[in-house]
Amino acid sequence: MQMAFANVRHCTEKTLSSGRRDEDGVGHEDGSDSESTSASFGSSDYSDDLEPEWLDDIQKNGELFYLELSEGEEEAALAQATANQVASTNHVRFSEKEAEIITEQHKKQRCGSRTKGEPALKRLARILRRKRRPSLRRGGKDGGKDSSALSPPASILKNQPGQRQGVTVQQQQLKEVCVYLNPKRLGGSSSPVCDSGGLLEALLGVVHRPAWSRGQGEPGDIRQEERLTVHGLIPNSPAIKCGQILIGDVLVAVDDVDVTSENIERVLSCIPGPTQVRLTLETVAPVDRGSTGDTSSLHKTKASPPVSQLVRLLWGEDTAELQMSISHIPHVVMYLSLKLDSASPQDEEEILYQYPVSEASSQLKGVRGIFLTLCDMLENVTGGQIISSSLLLGKHLVHVGYWKESNNLLVIGLPAERVPLLYLQTVVGDVVRTLKVMYGSLDRAFCKVDHTPRLDHFFCLFFQQLIQPSRLREGASTTTTPPDVSGTLFLDGLPAVRWLTLPPEIKTEVDTVLSDFESSDFGEMSEDFFGLRRLYVILGSCLFYKSYLIANHLPKEDLLDVCLYCQHYCLLPLASEQRVGQLVIWREVFPQQRASKDGGAAPGYGQPQGRHFLLIVGLRHFMQCVLLEAGGCASPALASPGPDCVYVDQVKATLLQLEVLEAGIEERLNAPPAPCLSCADWFLPAATARDRLDSLASSSPVLSKLAGAVRGSSSGSRGRSLFGEKSRRSSPQRSLSDSGSEGQMDAGSGLSPHSTPDSARKLGGRRDSLGSGGSDGSGGSGGLFKMSRMKHPNPFYLGTLKKTLTERETEEMYNTMKLTSGAENTLFHYVLMETVQGIFIAPTHREVAQLSGSIHPQLIRNFHHCCLSIRAAFQQSLPARGRRAADRPQSAGWGLGPVKEHGVLFQCKPENWTDQRKPAPTMTYWVIGRMLLEPVPQEFYVCFHDSVAEVPVEMAFRLSFGLAL
């Protein structure tokens, strides 16, 4: 039945997708994109096997985590690293079994001294395992598979070091070349594989003619142990593209596995999917030019490995190495049993789970008695559960967070320099909620032995993200600035998801596509078609583009659950920094809102008793998370079902459908910041106006045009006038007199008659309230903001206006839009959180990057650090609502009473001020946070220059206009 399903599904999908490709093929700017799609579709043609790639990765409990980088990404990374790579991997699947193997191997590594040979063993083991997997799957998964997979490579490896030694003694040089191979393209290409060159030619593009090197003598029958000399290269093949493989070179090893003509075909055939392999080649006579080039590129490779540590971590590799690098910083997570049975002789029996098992945690583990005793005792003394304690270990101050559930206690120790005590509770609460979403309860998560490797991976990610976030990202982006730890803490800790406002027409389209999908009307694919009961009910889905949420059809709490999972597994940055070839995640989840029962909804309505499953599918920069329910209306789920191909493919189809909109979204991302942002550096007199213009112009193509125009119009330098000011000086009159009013009218007529009076009223109302801005902080009533110098209707609804305006006018309008009042635009940064919808907006990464500057990043770090404090003040003064970790009562008592607004004024100086005679110039700026409970609960945080006495509540209102879901 299932097979029949799959068959039908594949055929239609193919036709569907090909049809779609034809439609929008022109729209694709990126050639490689369509190529790769076609290639992947071709692969299913070729292999004659209709199973999707991820099918083999489904685990016994039905869970799936399949991540594959796109080919474009791989090749881009390759180009960046100029081919020579020390370590690189691709297309690795993460699964329980592998994680186990790796740890096992690392234990070996500790004992043995042969560190060099070890990674090779791992890699080959993986390759071979991959090969074996299909058959094993059919034969049933038995535990012996690991050992059986491990043994053959071990034998191959035995002679490896010796051989390599032998090679190096020779005068000839060894060079390492990384090439990108995609066996799936074999099928798509027309060239037949049956050629004598086999995979070596077809896949790699290296022509090796055994007869040539051996002379004409013996023909083919004794081909043992022949060296693989490169006799020729095939045009357009990976080998020739990399430009480093020369005719005459000898291929010695592939991924540290020595190859000869004997085993090359076997080794190459082990490559199951697109991957990067490292070839070791012996160059016969090193030419001067060549050798210098080689060494220089060898140096380069160390700097930037193509695949970021994050991806490798997600794939489940190298956790031990990463763990080692933070072993000097004390951190621990323990799940302890409070039920002490003093009669039992066993030591450490109260530890139900512990990570990491290393020196980093041993000291903290040693004093677990403190945690247990305090937890037990303090409740009686002070009348409340213990939530944190601070310890000093040598020089490190460690904060320990507690979470008690039934008779067990979760203890998380974190270094104080990473997580301030103010925010520890939020961090612990988020971990607990994530675990609960994933496993239902802490007890279920920790008390099952077979969860241990997964929890190890979970907490490895957790600590890595907190303790060395920069290391995870390295390779993906070459940022030299120190990591913004507070920023990560703050933004991740918000009970909200980063939202990207889109022009309405794109938004509508996205919503329509999502709704179509959610209606589960899969036509011939749907269960209805076969007269069956539905497998799952789609509860809703949300869509991310490059880490921004662009559409959400999930209830808020479910959205937060899903988002916590994504955050924890770094899926959001992954999708923004690297193009994901394919991401398929499937697991059972326990949404907290639904799990808590009692619902509180309308009487007579009970939440259906069902099981919930989370399906996340990512393609390139898009990622869609779907929450499914089994049971209830749909047929109940039995045991632990794996992902259903139909649903996965429908999501994929949805994403493919959405790709048409990518250009529009990119345009939105590339647009100048909608509320104008200033760069902090502009306010220090060091930078001249011209520098400012230039730096802007170079960073943004849109602005460069404008900068040129401005430069042309206002030739005389006006001293310290700001860029924004300049452009404003020329534009406002214009935009007001003709384009502004005109555009406004056009927009009005373009809108539906229903909305026109409404918007007009809004505008009028806003004008009326001009000047009444003297907010007394008594909470925002609608009339409090003034629009003193805002010349246009609404910065955020520009999308509708845009159509009617010429491009130039739009640009001008964008540039004149600012949130602050006064002559200069003084807004540096902002975060606005809409608590009800669970979303927040902040300037996009690209907008921040455009501002560049040296002080600005510092300022943003500072802003985030300050926000931690502000938000902590809000949280402490609030009764326990709206918290993520909702089931813990808020620490009561905050003597100061409910905080509505809190601001801090900072002063900054340029870092290395060398001029001794003059005092360093200073710049002061405010960071202000405000919490509104009425009319909609909102929190917003702004950072602006001190020059204007600003009333932040106005900014909030202006900002919040952009937030229409």
Partner 1 sequence: MGQRYCGNDAKPMMMMRRRRRRMLQDGSTQLLCLTASSGVPLFTRGASKQLPFSVIGSLNGVHMFGGGQGVVLSCCQTEGGGKVVWRVFQDSVMLIAVSGGGGGGGRSGAGGKEEEEAEEEEGEEEEVRLQRLLENVWSCMVLVLGQDELANVRNVERLKRDLRSCFSLIDQLLEERHEGILGNLTHCADSLLPPNPAILQEAVDAFAQAADSEFGCLIVHGRIATATEKWWRLAPQEVVLLSALIRSLSASGSSSCDYPVFLPQGSPTVAHRLLRFQLLPGADACVLCGPTPSLHRAETGLVVRFWSPLLETLRDCLAVGERCLPGSVSLRPDVLAFLLINRETRRSVCSVRPSTCQPLSKARCWELLKLFYIFCISRYFTQEETLCVSPEERTHRGIAEDFAAGFSHQPQQCYLVTEECKSYGLQTSQHQLYLLILPSVPTFALRTVATQTLSDLTAATRF
Q: Does 873 bind partner 1 (CB under 8 A)?
A: yes
Nearer to partner 1, 4 or 381 (CB): 381
Stretch that binds partner 1, among 64-72, 364-372, 613-621, 730-738 (CB under 8 A): 364-372
Nearer to partner 1, 378 or 751 (CB): 378
Among residues 433, 438, 436, 460, the alpha carbon closest in space to that of 314 is found at 460
> 839-841 and 497-498: which strand pairing?
parallel
CB 272 within 8 A of CB 536: no
> Which member of 904, 921, 937, 962 binds partner 1 (CB under 8 A)?
904
Report d(CA 449, CA 455) in Å as an integer: 10
Report d(CA 423, CA 861) in Å as an integer: 16
Report d(CA 226, CA 219) in Å as an integer: 13
Burial class (CB in 10 A: 0-12, 13-18, 19+), 292: exposed
> Which member of 902, 932, 940, 957 binds partner 1 (CB under 8 A)?
902
Torsion of CA 957, 958, 959, 960, to 10 degrees: 50
Query: In 3-state terms, what secondary structure has residue 543?
Result: strand
Q: Does 347 bind partner 1 (CB under 8 A)?
A: yes
Burial class (CB in 10 A: 0-12, 13-18, 19+), 373: exposed
The site string for partner 1 over 811-850 (x = CB under 8 A, - otherwise) reads ----------------------------------------
Report d(CA 220, CA 607) in Å as an integer: 72
Q: Does 947 bind partner 1 (CB under 8 A)?
A: no
Q: Does 894 bind partner 1 (CB under 8 A)?
A: yes
Report d(CA 312, CA 318) in Å as an integer: 7
To partner 1, the closest distance from the beta carbon of 464 in angstroms equals 21
Query: In 3-state terms, what secondary structure has residue 483?
Result: coil
CB 682 within 8 A of CB 651: no
**Binding positions for partner 1, 473-532, rule CB under 8 A:** 486
Stretch that binds partner 1, among 87-95, 434-442, 870-878, 913-921 (CB under 8 A): 870-878
CB 114 within 8 A of CB 121: no
Nearer to partner 1, 466 or 747 (CB): 466
- Determine the longest span between alpha carbons in the chain, in angstroms: 100
To partner 1, the closest distance from the beta carbon of 259 in angstroms equals 53
Q: Does 949 bind partner 1 (CB under 8 A)?
A: yes
> Which member of 87, 364, 798, 942 binds partner 1 (CB under 8 A)?
364
Q: Does 235 bind partner 1 (CB under 8 A)?
A: no
**Binding positions for partner 1, 679-718, rule CB under 8 A:** none
To partner 1, the closest distance from the beta carbon of 681 in angstroms equals 13
To partner 1, the closest distance from the beta carbon of 403 in angstroms equals 11
What φ, ψ does residue 806 adopt, rounded to 5°?
Answer: -75, 165
Q: Does 893 bind partner 1 (CB under 8 A)?
A: yes
Nearer to partner 1, 193 or 391 (CB): 391
To partner 1, the closest distance from the beta carbon of 685 in angstroms equals 17
Burial class (CB in 10 A: 0-12, 13-18, 19+), 548: buried
Query: In 3-state terms, what secondary structure has residue 138?
Result: helix
> Which member of 325, 363, 452, 635 binds partner 1 (CB under 8 A)?
363
The site string for partner 1 over 378-397 (x = CB under 8 A, - otherwise) reads xxxxxxxxxxxxxxxxx--x
To partner 1, the closest distance from the beta carbon of 775 in angstroms equals 6
Question: What phi-psi label fits residue 523: left (phi over 0), alpha (psi between -120 and 50 degrees) or beta?
Answer: left
> Which member of 22, 48, 450, 776 binds partner 1 (CB under 8 A)?
776
Q: Does 193 bind partner 1 (CB under 8 A)?
A: no
Nearer to partner 1, 165 or 382 (CB): 382
To partner 1, the closest distance from the beta carbon of 382 in angstroms equals 3
Q: Does 369 bind partner 1 (CB under 8 A)?
A: yes
Report d(CA 455, CA 841) in Å as an integer: 32
Stretch that binds partner 1, among 97-105, 240-248, 371-379, 707-715 (CB under 8 A): 371-379
Residues 6+ apart with CB under 8 A from 652: 617, 619
Q: Does 895 bind partner 1 (CB under 8 A)?
A: yes
> 497-498 and 610-620: which strand pairing?
unpaired
Nearer to partner 1, 764 or 879 (CB): 879
To partner 1, the closest distance from the beta carbon of 288 in angstroms equals 49
Stretch that binds partner 1, among 142-150, 589-597, 772-780, 802-810 (CB under 8 A): 772-780
Residues 6+ apart with CB under 8 A from 554: 539, 540, 541, 542, 562, 625, 627
To partner 1, the closest distance from the beta carbon of 335 in angstroms equals 16
Burial code (b: 16+ CB inside 10 Å, e: under 16) for 90-107 equals bbbbbbbbbbebbeebbe
Among residues 623, 522, 536, the alpha carbon closest in space to that of 577 is found at 623
Report d(CA 549, CA 499) in Å as an integer: 5
DSSP string, 110-122: HH-S-TTHHHHHH
Stretch that binds partner 1, among 83-91, 154-162, 199-207, 857-865 (CB under 8 A): 857-865
Among residues 867, 65, 138, the alpha carbon closest in space to that of 496 is found at 867
∠ CA 362-365-369, rounded to 5°: 150
The site string for partner 1 over 412-451 (x = CB under 8 A, - otherwise) reads ----x---xxx-----------------------------
Q: Does 376 bind partner 1 (CB under 8 A)?
A: yes
N-to-C CA span, the chain: 41
> Which member of 136, 370, 763, 933 binds partner 1 (CB under 8 A)?
370
Stretch that binds partner 1, among 35-43, 142-150, 339-347, 956-964 (CB under 8 A): 339-347
CB 892 within 8 A of CB 446: no
Sign of CA dihedral 336, 338, 339, 345: positive
Stretch that binds partner 1, among 66-74, 191-199, 242-250, 906-914 (CB under 8 A): 906-914
Stretch that binds partner 1, among 67-75, 92-100, 499-507, 853-861 (CB under 8 A): 853-861
> Which member of 367, 633, 663, 736 binds partner 1 (CB under 8 A)?
367
To partner 1, the closest distance from the beta carbon of 918 in angstroms equals 18
Report d(CA 390, CA 513) in Å as an integer: 51
Residues 6+ apart with CB under 8 A from 189: 202
Q: Does 877 bind partner 1 (CB under 8 A)?
A: yes
Query: In 3-state terms, what secondary structure has residue 169?
Result: helix
To partner 1, the closest distance from the beta carbon of 371 in angstroms equals 9
Token duo for residue 746 = 């056009």
> Which member of 161, 599, 889, 935 binds partner 1 (CB under 8 A)?
889
To partner 1, the closest distance from the beta carbon of 419 in angstroms equals 10
Nearer to partner 1, 723 or 926 (CB): 926
Q: Does 466 bind partner 1 (CB under 8 A)?
A: no
Q: Does 951 bind partner 1 (CB under 8 A)?
A: yes
Q: Does 919 bind partner 1 (CB under 8 A)?
A: no
> Which member of 233, 787, 831, 859 binds partner 1 (CB under 8 A)?
859
Q: Does 794 bind partner 1 (CB under 8 A)?
A: no
CB 251 within 8 A of CB 277: no
Q: Does 373 bind partner 1 (CB under 8 A)?
A: yes
Nearer to partner 1, 377 or 736 (CB): 377
> Which member of 121, 230, 250, 866 binds partner 1 (CB under 8 A)?
866
The residue count for binding partner 1 (CB under 8 A) is 79
